[in-house]
Amino acid sequence: MIELPEAFTLAGQLGQAFIGKTIVSAKANTHPHGFAWYSGEPSLYNEKLAGRKVTGTAAYGGRPEMHADGMIVSFFDGVRGRYISAGEKRPDKHQLLLEFDDGTALCCTVQMYGGMMAFPDEPRDDFYYNIGREKPSPFSEAFDKEYFRGLFVGIKKSLSVKALLATEQRIPGLGNGVLQDILFNAHIHPKRKAESLSDSERDTLYHATVSTLKDMLDGGGRDTEKDLFSRPGGYRTILSSKTLAYPCRRCGGELKREAFLGGNIYFCRYLKLIQT
């Protein structure tokens, strides 16, 4: 899934690959997917986008986007975008294919579920998109310790640390995937009640959030995800399905996986003993 580090990585790569090029055709929903989402009728994407030049890219929360002469093409969740070089055979199946005037293309497929929106660059009624633009990114100076402490104000006593960080769009783009290494680096169990954290632990969690996400971004995304050129990210995840069979880096103990709040959580046995 596209989360913060992948969104910013993809936005940069989309810019390098396509800025200055003109979209000559757009094919959406050619191979229908039950959980592929579009803005409006997919059959109108060619009418919306053909003839427009890519002028820039950006990332807000977990959404990378391209700007094309007054239109925005925004991607999120399980969309996998792939750069196709001039003369390269196009994949047989896709949910969105943008062809450019130099013969290159952007091919998008959906893993599990995801969105490929195309809409005018103007205010829109989209809660998730708007909140991603409005709230400060952990990569920005506005996301400081004081702002982070404010996330704890008024929370329910039952709220877990996982729920605090990765639900309700408190930090847009921070999902269950990047959460695992953040909490490992902070020495905090995902099920720990957020309210129970001391001021010192909250500060530790803040620093772990910022530094871990920066490491992921500097690595070009996580090794569990692929970039625009079909390469896995250079950041080696500490806790993920790729590492479950290996001992904990910190204590050498066994890593655990449990289902919790709609997704898997990972933690070392030692962490579970001291924090739950």
The pLDDT, as a whole number, for residue 271 is 66
Q: Indicate if the pLDDT at residue 217 is higher than 50.
A: yes
Per residue in 66-99, pLDDT (tens digit) is 999 999 999 999 999 999 999 999 999 999 999 9
Q: How large is the greatest C-alpha to C-alpha distance in the chain, in angstroms?
A: 60
- Residue 250's pLDDT band (cuts 50, 70, 90): confident
Residue 18 Cα distances to 68, 71, 105, 116, angstroms: 10, 15, 9, 17
Per residue in 1-47, pLDDT (tens digit) is 999 999 999 999 999 999 999 999 999 999 999 999 999 999 999 99
pTM, to two decimals: 0.94
Q: Indicate if the pLDDT at residue 256 is higher than 90.
A: no
Average the pLDDT over 235-258 and give the result: 90
Q: Using the CB atoms, write b or e for 201-223: b if 16+ within 10 Å.
A: bbebbbebbbebbeebbebbbbb
Q: Indicate if the pLDDT at residue 168 is higher than 50.
A: yes
Closest CA to 45 of 102, 87, 86, 95: 95
Average the pLDDT over 40-65 and give the result: 97
Per residue in 106-156, pLDDT (tens digit) is 999 999 999 999 999 998 899 999 999 999 999 999 999 999 999 999 999
Per residue in 181-211, pLDDT (tens digit) is 999 999 999 999 999 999 999 999 999 999 9
- Bridge partners (DSSP) of residue 57 are 66
